Chains A and B, each alone.
Chain A
Amino acid sequence: MIVVDNVSKYYGAHRAVAELSFEIRQGECVGFLGLNGAGKSTTLRLLSCLLLPTSGRITVRGLDVVSSPHEIRKLIGYLPDTPPLYPEMTVSEYLDFAGRLRGLRGAQLSARKQRVVELCSLQQVERSPIGQLSHGYRQRVGIAQAIIHGPALLVLDEPIQGLDPVQIVEMRKMIGALRGEHTILLSTHILTEIEATCDRILMMHQGKIAAQGTEEELAARLRAHRSLVLEVHGAADALRAALAGVPEVRDARIEARGPEHLHAVLRVDDIAREKVSRAVVNAGLGLLAMHTESSGLEAVFLQLSQNAGRSLAPPQPAAPPAALGVQP
């Protein structure tokens, strides 16, 4: 349904997203996961014909975003990070307005309106001015606005942000109910909030898609990027020979940190600490310290999955939270 081919977007010299390529199939529910500033909103805005890509090509149902935006706008329902609400209008008037803008009229409009009011549980506030609604209700009105014309593609930018836990559960239920009817793209910086809702997660980091898959697939893929760090007393050649005997070690970077003191960073297929330590000791070298170090990306991922409900500070590269215990 959506094909993104090598798309980049620059704001002046600042790169928002770079060389993005992915595909989204009809009926899928895809979550964009990433820290603030990872390029999630930019990606969603590019898909919603709100931003011109600097390079690359985006097509929605075979239509090019740049050359036929008018046709694509008919297919899309978009909820930005702050819902576009007019405080002086009542919910009912607002939905009428949003429906008419998307070409609904008469009986069709009232039927759709009734349906989205039910779907978003807005019956109680239908006659209230939007300015008087709570944050949770506003968010729901924002979603109602995005789905009133039954768009093939629903784009939700941070739909869960700022909601309390009860509202989050309701929102998750609502998005669940919309699956199947629409292809859904949503963004979040909190993994646990979308893992149950989405078929697939695209993890974005620094304007690129760092990894994709289900939550377990992501975790497994990122674990594979871990490295094993050794502090060894002995000669570099002896260490290299000892490590060559362990098949799980794919790559070893060894540097001298003083007389007879080596610092080695290993890429290992699995957590093969036991085999590595045995090999080092059997070669007659002194194993001073050994610990695993997660890649920056895994640290980010762990932070994303742990930060449910809390606001997010930028990652602290100095202290990777995934560092496992130091073994003598």
Chain B
Amino acid sequence: MSNIGIIARRELAGYFRTPSGYLIAAATLLVQGLLFNTRALGGTKLSSDVLIDFLRDSSGTTTVAAVLLTMRLFAEERQSGTLVLLFTSPVREGQIVVGKFLSAFVVLSLLIVASVYLPALIFVNGKVSLGHIAAGYLGLLLVGAATLSLGVLGSALARTQLMAGVLAAVFIFIFFLAWALAHVVEPPLRDVIAAFSLYEQHFFPFMRGLIQLSDIVYYCSLTYLALLASTRVIQSQRWQ
């Protein structure tokens, strides 16, 4: 097993050994279910619109879950002093970061997949294509990966878990607000800023059942860059 695998496995066990993992999963699924009911039962609607609403809500719950899942990753170990074990072992900083990210990604993916019974209800009772659902879920996984990586960065920087959560929320909010900023600036700059928008620009196509390469590239590069930044942060901390 590689170093990444060793670290990811321990983190995964951490999620399932302590109540926190279950608590986050239960809360997310509960909120998702409640939101779905308010959307689906609200009068006559096209079933594809219900699916779009569901996916939009889910991108929000996924983001919140991502922040909650990642805030402990480094901050908790820093508080309890266990980071020293990783720092004094012959393990590269990148392996630590990726291992921790992967464990959170596995949990979040399980969580996203666990909500599939809701679109299944739309599929059975309405008229939506499986492709639309699949595209939406691919989008959710990509949003999840990007927000998780921003959460990892927050946790790498913060001293406490609370601080990690706040930092992650700030990072995500900046990318979220890129869309609002884009609406108030003039054209050439507008497109540049809009291109950074975490949801509006890149998730809405998935929501409508559209898979575009540019959106996939956006989420993958954001994830990569945030993890790279986290690696740099951990590298500098290893010598302090």
Could you tell me which A residues sit within 8 Å of B by CB distance?
Answer: 48-52, 70-71, 73-74, 76, 78, 80, 82, 84-89, 93, 97-98, 100-103, 105, 145
Contact = CB atoms under 8 A, between A and B. Distances in A.
A297 B65 CA distance: 57
B81 A82 contact: yes
B85 A84 contact: yes
A97 B10 contact: yes
Contact of A101 (B3, B13, B240): B3
Contacts of A89: 10, 13, 17
Given A51-B240, A52-B239, A89-B13, A84 B83 contact: yes
Contacts of A74: 90
Nearest to B10: A97
Interface in B1-48: 1, 3, 6-7, 10, 13-14, 17-18
A51 B239 CA distance: 4
A50 B84 contact: yes
B14 A70 contact: no
B84 A86 contact: no
A97 B17 CA distance: 15
Interface string B199-231: 000000000000000000000000000000000
A101 B85 contact: yes
Nearest to B7: A101
B82 interface: yes
A300 to B, nearest CB: 28
A97 B10 CA distance: 8
A97 B18 CA distance: 18
B87 interface: yes
Contacts of B82: 84-86
B17 A49 contact: no
Contacts of B233: none
B183 interface: no
Given A51-B240, A80-B84, A84-B84, A102 B14 contact: no
B91 interface: yes
Contact of A102 (B7, B89, B92): B89
Contacts of B80: 84, 86-87
A102 to B, nearest CB: 6
Contact of A88 (B18, B87, B90): B18
B125 interface: no
Interface of B: 1, 3, 6-7, 10, 13-14, 17-18, 80-92, 238-240
A100 B91 CA distance: 10
Contacts of B83: 84
A78 B87 CA distance: 10
B90 A103 contact: yes
A19 to B, nearest CB: 21
Contact of A73 (B6, B7, B90): B90
A47 to B, nearest CB: 11
B239 A101 contact: no
Contacts of A102: 89-90
B88 A50 contact: yes
B88 A49 contact: yes
A245 B238 CA distance: 61
Given A88-B14, A88-B18, A48 B88 contact: yes
A51 B84 CA distance: 12
Given A49-B239, A88-B18, 15 more contacts: A49-B88, A50-B88, A51-B239, A70-B90, A70-B92, A71-B90, A80-B81, A82-B81, A84-B84, A85-B82, A86-B10, A86-B82, A98-B89, A101-B6, A102-B89
Contacts of B3: 101
Q: Which 3 A-B pairs have the closest CB atoms?
A: A84-B85, A101-B89, A84-B82
A262 B218 CA distance: 85
Nearest to B239: A52
B134 to A, nearest CB: 36
15 contacts: A50-B84, A50-B88, A51-B240, A70-B92, A73-B88, A78-B88, A80-B81, A80-B84, A85-B82, A86-B82, A88-B18, A100-B6, A101-B7, A101-B90, A101-B91
A82 B84 CA distance: 10
Contact of B86 (A85, A88, A93, A101): A101
Contacts of A78: 84, 88
A105 B6 CA distance: 11
Contact of B1 (A52, A98, A100): A100
